[in-house]
Structure formats: C-alpha cells, structure tokens
C-alpha cells in the first residue's frame, strides 16, 4: 500500500530563526559561519542567515575551493560576488585534496573540506551547513548498506561539538523541494555542480535513482528515513549511557581496562563498553572486524601475555590482565635526548605526557646530590641497570618493568632521567641509588602527567 503524500514544510527566514533559537539553543549574538559552496542548498541558507543579522546574529561565510574541477575558480568568484551583494564577509580557503586513490574523490574532498573548516573556526563559532532532510535520508540508506549500528544509523545530528566551536545543521527538517521553492520565490541564482549527477558516486546514485523510486511507492520515504535516524539517535544515546556506566566498572585508568571486569559483563555489554571506550578516546568508531578480533582476544586463553590489534590510527594492546589503548604519536627514536630543568615540565615527544617534579621529604631524588649537576632525559635504549633503594645488587631495567607489570607500549615511552651518563630515575616508577632521598632528606618526586584526549 502506498503511503500518504510527502509533507513539505515550507522554509522561511522565520522558520530558520525558530530552529536556531528553539531547537538548537543558539541565541541571537551567536557567531554563525555558513559553509557556502554556491549550490542551491547553501545559497538558500546563506540568504536566510544574512537576513537574520537584523535580529542580532553575526553572520559570515566560508567557501572551500577543492581545486578539483576547472570551474572551481569561477565558483569561488561567484561566491565572492554573492557575498558582496549580501554584505556578508567571505573567507575563501583553497585546499589540497590528498588520498583520492585510497578513499575516493568524495571522501577525500570531504576530509580536506572539514579539515579546513575546523582550522578556520574561532572558539564557540557555530558552523552552519546546509544538509537537509533528503541528505539525511541518503545518509541513513548509505549507513544501512554498510551494516552500521545505531550510531551510524543516527546519521547527522542537528548540532554537535566541532573543533573549537559547533557544527549545526538547521535545515534537516526541510526537504530539497522546500529549499528550491524558497530560492525561486526569492529569485536566487546558484551554481549547478554537474558532478552531483554522476551515478558513479554512491550518494548520487541513491539521490537520483533509489530515492525517487522509493518515493513512487512511499511518498513519505525521505521523511520516514529521517525519523528513523532520530529513533536511532535515541537508541545510541542509551547505549552510550550504559557504556559510560560500565566503563566506570572496568576502567583501571583512562587508557586501560581490566580484563577480569570485562569478563563479568554479558557479551553485548562487553562489546558496547569496548566500542564506547575506543570511540571516546580516539573519536572514531572501531572497524567491525577489528572489534571482533579484539573481543576474540578477551574470550580465549592467550598463548602469549601480549597481543596487539591494529587498524589505521589506533593500536590496542592486551597485556597480562589489561586491555590498553596505545597512545598515538611517532616516537622520535632511542637517540632522542633533552636537557631538563626540573622546575619546568618537560613535554615527552611522540606522547601526550609531561615530566614534572615536585618537592618532598624522604622520597624521590635527593636534591642535595643533584646540586650543580645537569639532568638529561632520554628514552630507553636497552641494557640499562638500576640499583633500587635497600638493594645490594643492580637489576636490569627490563626485568624491573616486567615485574611491575608495565606494558611494553608504555616502557617505550617512559622518560629515563640521567645525571651525566648515570641512570638516576625511570620515569615515575623507580629511583636508582645513590640518588634516592633518605628519610628526612629533601627530595624531588618525579611525576608523569599522562594527559590524553577526552
């Protein structure tokens, strides 16, 4: 049975103002930066947003020139002319699109575009994009065909944190037809990008072939798909609430989970909390195969005490009774070395750590024995030995770190502190004789500030 005729809420300046203030909680005075391509959708958004300035909003525009088509310079010129006519400040940013062979033109261009937009936003700026209801329906179908879960099927949120500010999509309630009707009513002239009609791009195929066919039988198809996205957004939010609560039960530290605690969860909740943890730490959802490999490591008795699961940009390490997210960053190599003034925190290259010192009594490095001596910091190079306080013999540092349960990924990042060529401290783990402070003696207590993304 065919559905009812598709509803087309009309678009207007008043409608945009209501959505910004009521739905997105963006009060007049907010700095709105319109992502302006010159096409129909963004042209309508820019025109309506420009008219909101008299109501108190601050409006400007950004045009990203990908340089992929011969007409790109003409498009940029068109955008400049339109913004002059609207008395809107425009910033044109030319980008280099890399990774086309690996990711395809559409994805590579999108990454370059959003990278540029992120760099250009000032704190608390609100980037407005012209994604509408039909775009949302296309996104839901694309995610469905990729076997996405609730987070993917939630498609595009109306507003979300982005770079130093926000990314808002105030047109999600309106279909393409409503925007075209507004443009024709206002006599607007926009750019027609012929690449939008190339069926070789998946989204274009859905737009030109699949959705019109669905609409013949289900006139409300786009509206219903957009509603489905809202339902999945609610489901995803509930999964995140459960994941957040479970994370408190299984987390040892920000980048480490307890395998024993994970084993106490049901398989679906275990998968959910690991997925939530990785997304929270990296900002990316783990690929399904990588997540399956990771969960398989938790189910079976490991043949070795260490296993690594990798995918682009992320490494997860299972070591002994922990699951650890290896911090991103390329270490500069074992030859790295830096002079250190303990009064100034030292950033450890290739990590998000800082080595710092605070004063204490009867612990840490004896300040009297450091007087006039030059401290240097380097990474582990192999073969280091250390005599711990109260011990008569020196021990290999590798064995000390193994006995302390320090994972290999952290061992490679630990800063080793030297006086001349003598090892005096191993990060914030050990102090070596004869530099350990005695009871009642002033000392420097070393600490590593292990900061990482939220």
The radius of gyration computed from the CA coordinates of the chain, to the nearest angstrom, equals 28
Count the Cβ atoms, other than its own, within 10 Å of residue 89: 13
DSSP conformation class of 322: E
Distance separating alpha carbons of residues 233 and 140, to the nearest angstrom: 11
Distance separating alpha carbons of residues 332 and 381, to the nearest angstrom: 12
Distance separating alpha carbons of residues 11 and 432, to the nearest angstrom: 72
41 assigned ligand-binding residue: yes
Query: Residue 409 forms beta bridges with which residues?
Result: none
Measured in residues, the chain has a length of: 454
38 assigned ligand-binding residue: yes
Distance separating alpha carbons of residues 286 and 171, to the nearest angstrom: 30
Q: Which pair of tokens denotes residue 431?
A: 């102090």
DSSP sequence for 105-116: HHHHHHHHHHHH
According to DSSP H, which parts of 251-324 are helical? Answer: 259-263, 267-282, 288-299
CB 117 within 8 A of CB 91: no
362 assigned ligand-binding residue: no
Contacts of 348 (CB under 8 A, 6+ apart): 354, 355, 377, 413, 415, 448
CB 65 within 8 A of CB 75: yes
Place of tokens 């339109």: 82
* Phi, then psi, of 155 in degrees rounded to 5: 60, -130
DSSP conformation class of 305: S
* Cα 220 to Cα 134, 138, 267, 315, 452, distances in angstroms: 11, 14, 38, 44, 45
CB 437 within 8 A of CB 343: no
CA-based nearest residue to 188, from 12, 59, 49, 40: 40
Residue numbers belonging to the annotated binding site: 37-42
Which residue positions form the known binding site for ATP?
Answer: 37-42
């Amino acid at each position: 049975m065919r559905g009812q005729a598709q509803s087309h809420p009309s678009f207007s300046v008043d409608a945009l103002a209501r959505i910004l203030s009521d739905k997105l909680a963006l009060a007049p005075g907010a700095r709105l930066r319109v992502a302006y391509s010159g096409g129909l959708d963004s042209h309508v958004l820019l025109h309506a947003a420009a008219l909101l300035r008299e109501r108190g909003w601050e409006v400007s525009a950004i045009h990203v020139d990908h340089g992929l088509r011969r007409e790109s310079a003409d498009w940029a010129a068109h955008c400049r002319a339109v913004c002059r006519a609207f008395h809107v400040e425009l910033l044109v940013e030319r980008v280099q699109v890399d990774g086309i062979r690996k990711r395809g033109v559409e994805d590579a261009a999108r990454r370059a575009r959003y990278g540029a937009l992120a760099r250009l936003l000032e704190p608390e700026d609100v980037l407005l994009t012209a994604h509408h209801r039909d775009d949302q329906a296309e996104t839901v179908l694309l995610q469905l065909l990729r076997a996405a879960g609730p987070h993917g099927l939630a498609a595009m949120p109306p507003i979300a944190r982005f770079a130093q500010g926000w990314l808002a999509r105030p047109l999600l309630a309106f279909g393409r037809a409503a925007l075209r009707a507004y443009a024709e009513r206002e006599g607007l002239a926009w750019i027609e990008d012929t690449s939008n009609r190339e069926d070789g791009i998946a989204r274009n195929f859905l737009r030109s072939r699949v959705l019109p066919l669905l609409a013949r039988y289900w006139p409300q198809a786009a509206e219903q798909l957009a509603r489905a996205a809202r339902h999945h957004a609610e489901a995803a939010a509930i999964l995140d609430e459960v994941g957040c609560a479970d994370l408190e039960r299984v987390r040892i530290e920000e980048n480490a989970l307890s395998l024993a605690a994970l084993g106490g969860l049901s398989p679906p909740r275990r998968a959910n909390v690991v997925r939530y943890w990785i997304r929270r730490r990296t900002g990316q959802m783990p690929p399904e195969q990588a997540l399956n490999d990771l969960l398989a490591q938790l189910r079976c008795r490991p043949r070795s005490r260490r296993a690594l699961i990798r995918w682009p940009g992320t490494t997860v390490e299972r070591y002994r009774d922990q699951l650890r997210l290896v911090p991103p960053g390329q270490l500069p190599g074992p030859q790295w070395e830096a002079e250190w003034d303990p009064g100034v925190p030292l950033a450890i290259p290739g990590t998000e750590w800082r080595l710092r010192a605070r004063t204490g009594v009867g612990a840490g490095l004896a300040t009297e024995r450091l007087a006039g001596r030059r401290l240097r910091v380097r990474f582990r190079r192999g073969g280091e030995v250390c005599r711990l306080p109260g011990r008569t013999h020196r021990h290999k540092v590798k064995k000390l770190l193994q006995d302390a349960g320090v994972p290999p990924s952290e061992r490679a990042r630990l800063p080793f502190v030297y006086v001349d060529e003598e090892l005096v401290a191993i990060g914030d783990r050990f102090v070596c004789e004869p530099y350990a402070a005695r009871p009642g003696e002033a000392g420097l207590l070393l600490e590593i500030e292990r900061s990482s993304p939220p």
